[in-house]
Each structure stands twice: as structure tokens, then as C-alpha cells.
Amino acid sequence: MNWLSAFITANLIGIGSNFDNCGTGIAYGSDKIKFPHWVNAIVNAIGFSTAILGAYAGKATSDFLTVSQAQWAACVVLVCIGLFFWYGGYIHPLVSKHKQKIQTKTPGWKEGVILGLALSFTNVASGFGATVANATTLWSSVISITLWGYIMIWLGNTVGIGVIARLLGKYSSLAAGLMLILVGVHQVMG
């Protein structure tokens, strides 16, 4: 495999592994929540670790956690976060004495770890799949998955805040929750 072909392949693996990161960034951005760069770094440090785990020990981890189980775990976490957006934006004001919606806060290190784990389950499979065919692509695949993970959250968040939040107005929590639920369902379907 020549260097150009390896470069293109690694980038395609990185982009393909991180569409869920873009959806997560859009979901937070559409609710006008700035996703801090340092939290994005935490999310993708976990992604880096899981991609290495997948690249080095994909077959061994499949003895403990099947791909299907990892997909369902990611789905449950992302759907729960999406449902919290809906609860905070629409249900809480109806059932509470305080008629304002719960403000979803800017994610911190705890949310970064939870999102990192939820979004990284696919990195185990991507890292393993990328290196089975050609072991020389191990580091290029892992680095690509990590860099594109960071870029996709940032890009999604920027688009969400800049365009989508303005378009959606009072329906931004609905759209943010729906986006995270769809990302979660995509984990199982994809």
C-alpha cells in the first residue's frame, strides 16, 4: 500500500468512525451549548485509548464484550442523554412549580468521560477492523480516529450553535434530544 492510499484509507476510517461525534456536537450546539475544547479532548483521549485497545486486542475483547453488546451500551447512554434534553426542555416545566426549563449545562469532565465511553465503543471495532487487513496501518488508523473524533465534535458543535440553534428557536431541546437518540439508535443499526 503506497503512502497516499494509506493516508486516504486512514482518513476514511477516521471520518467513518466519528459521524456519531458530529451528531453529538450538533445536538449540544442546537441547544446553544458550547462544547469546551478540553472536554472534547477528554472524549477523544478515551476514543484514542479504545481505538488502541481495538487495534491491539480486538479479538481478545470480543471474548468479553460482543460488538452487539457494545453497540447497545452506547445506544442506551446516548438515548438517556437525549431523553434528559427532552425532560429538561419540555416535561420539567410542565410538572414543576418552576415553569422554566432545566438548563442543560456545558459539559464538564464527568460528562466528557461518559460521552467518551459512549462514543468510543465503535472505536474498538474500527481499530480492530482497520488493522486486521494491514497491521502497518495501526498507528495511522488510531491517530486518524482520534483526530477526526475531535474535529467532528467541534464541527458539529459549531454548526449547531451557528445555524441550527437559530433555525430551531424554542424547539432546540427537541431537536437536540432527537439527534442524540438517533445517534444512539444508529449505534445499534449501523
SS3 169: helix
* Spatial distance between the Cα atoms of 118 and 76, rounded to a whole number of angstroms: 9
Res 136: pLDDT:
47
Give the pLDDT band of residue 137 (cuts 50, 70, 90). Answer: low
Give the C-alpha separation, 9 to 27, whole Å: 28
Instruction: Note the pLDDT of residue 37.
Output: 94
Put residue 108 in one of left, alpha, beta given phi > 0 → left and psi -120 to 50 → alpha: beta
Each residue's pLDDT tens digit, 54-100: 677 544 545 566 667 767 776 777 788 778 778 877 787 777 776 55
Average pLDDT over residues 97-116: 75
Q: Enumerate the domain spans of the chain.
A: 20-27+35-189
> φ and ψ at 20, to 5 degrees?
-65, -35
Evaluate if residue 42 carries a pLDDT over 90. Answer: yes
pLDDT for the residue 60 = 53
